[in-house]
């Protein structure tokens, strides 16, 4: 989340609109499943735990593009976004990985997730 005031709830429901499945026109029942704010939090937690994939991705990017600054992106997080040093670290690593994936996609034809990270045993 680049907006430091953006909450998990507002991310899951932008402008108060639920994010969910579109019910096919021929369906008998409306699919009311939606994205929960807790899912956004869990996804960021999972991304933050992918430190080995982050390190391997940085190494390959720097080999391909030595002028890259991917290793210098700190991924600072607003202080009100976490209550513990562990959560701060997870959120920082999540931001670093998202930043790295954007650069990865410009340099390599294979997607970072699921192809590289999963096949490398990181995902």
Of 7-16, 74-83, 89-98, the range with the lowest mean pLDDT is 7-16
Q: What is the rounded CA–CA span in Å between residue 34 and residue 4? A: 24
Output the CA torsion sign for 6, 10, 16, 22. Answer: positive
pLDDT for the residue numbered 3: 77
| pLDDT on residue 1 | 47
Residue 25 in contact with residue 35, Cβ under 8 Å?
Answer: no
Taking the CB of residue 83, how many other CB atoms lie within 10 A of it?
9
CA 62 to chain centre: 21
Mean pLDDT (the chain) is 89
**Across residues 83-94, what is the average pLDDT?**
96
> Model confidence at 22, in pLDDT bands (50, 70, 90)?
confident
pLDDT beyond 80 at 115: no
pLDDT: which is higher, 103 or 12:
103
Side-chain-side CA neighbours of 114 within 13 Å: the count stands at 0
Taking the CB of residue 56, how many other CB atoms lie within 10 A of it?
Answer: 16
| Res. 11: pLDDT tops 60 | yes
The secondary element (H helix, E strand) that includes residue 24 is none
Residue 23 pLDDT: 84
Tens-place pLDDT, residues 64-74:
999 999 999 99
Q: Which residues, including other chains, have CB under 8 Å from residue 84's CB and lie 6 or more apart?
A: none
> CB-based contacts of 20: which residues, under 8 Å, 6+ apart?
31, 32, 33, 34, 35
**Cβ atoms < 10 Å from Cβ of 15:** 5
Q: Decide if pLDDT at 17 tops 60.
A: yes
pLDDT (0 to 100) of residue 12: 87
pLDDT beyond 50 at 51: yes
């Amino acid at each position: 989340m680049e907006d430091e005031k953006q909450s998990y709830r507002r991310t899951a429901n932008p402008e108060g609109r639920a994010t969910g499945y579109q019910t096919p026109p021929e369906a008998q029942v409306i699919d009311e499943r939606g994205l929960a704010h807790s899912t956004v939090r869990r996804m960021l937690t999972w991304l933050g735990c992918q430190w080995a994939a982050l390190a391997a991705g940085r190494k390959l990017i720097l080999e391909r593009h030595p002028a890259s600054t991917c290793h210098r992106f700190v991924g600072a997080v607003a202080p009100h976004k976490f209550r513990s040093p562990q959560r701060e670290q997870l959120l920082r690593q999540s931001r670093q990985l998202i930043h790295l994936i954007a650069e990865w996609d410009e340099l390599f034809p294979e997607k970072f997730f699921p192809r590289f990270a999963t096949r490398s045993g990181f995902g």
